[in-house]
Amino acid sequence: MFIDITDKRFVILGLNGTGKTYLAKYFLKHTPAAIVYDTLHEYTGYNRYIVSNRQFSKSAVDELNLFVSKVVINSKKIRLFILDEANRYCPVKPNPLPVSILELNDFQRHYRVSFGAVCRRPTQLHSDLVELAHYLFIFQLKGKNDLLYLDSLAPNLGMAVFALPQYHFVIVYPNHEFEVHKPIVI
């Protein structure tokens, strides 16, 4: 694996068609006991939980909380959990994180679970997920607000992400340094 995500939190960001689902599949394939919360049914062939309620609502959050609590945290069998379309469940502040995601984001290292959130835009995702992540994997973004937000995380990060070639991505490390990475092969 090109980077060790064991017992780490990470976020994958990028526009549609830039490679974020492909990267999530790479991590799922290369991590034993991995599962994805498959909101849009994009992970055929991978260990996945197919969401029954695709609309953001109290029942959708209840379904997520039950799944994460029982399967990810309490089973002690899962080593990687990826929440796809995370912005649907973890919208920006002042909205609170779902209880199970708050628990996983704060204490995932105690559960020995790697936790990844996938969404298009950093400005649509709860900042606790972005700012507490060990790693950010960012594919091409074009939105002015997204680029300004990225620059607030690391100088010149927005411009680096804006200028990315197709399927390339930026890895932002815990010290907020970053580098461009070539497309990966599953």
What pLDDT, on the 0 to 100 scale, is given for residue 4? 95
Asked whether 63 and 53 are in contact (CB, 8 A), the reply is yes
The predicted model scores a pTM of 0.96
CB-CB neighbours of 153 under 10 Å: 16
Considering the domain delimited by 9-181, tell me its CATH architecture: 3-Layer(aba) Sandwich (3.40)
DSSP 123: G
Domain ranges of the chain: 9-181
List the alpha helices (DSSP H) in 30-143.
58-67, 99-111, 127-131
**Which tens digit of pLDDT belongs to each residue from 117-174?**
999 999 999 999 999 999 999 999 999 999 999 999 999 999 999 999 999 999 999 9
Asked whether 127 and 97 are in contact (CB, 8 A), the reply is no
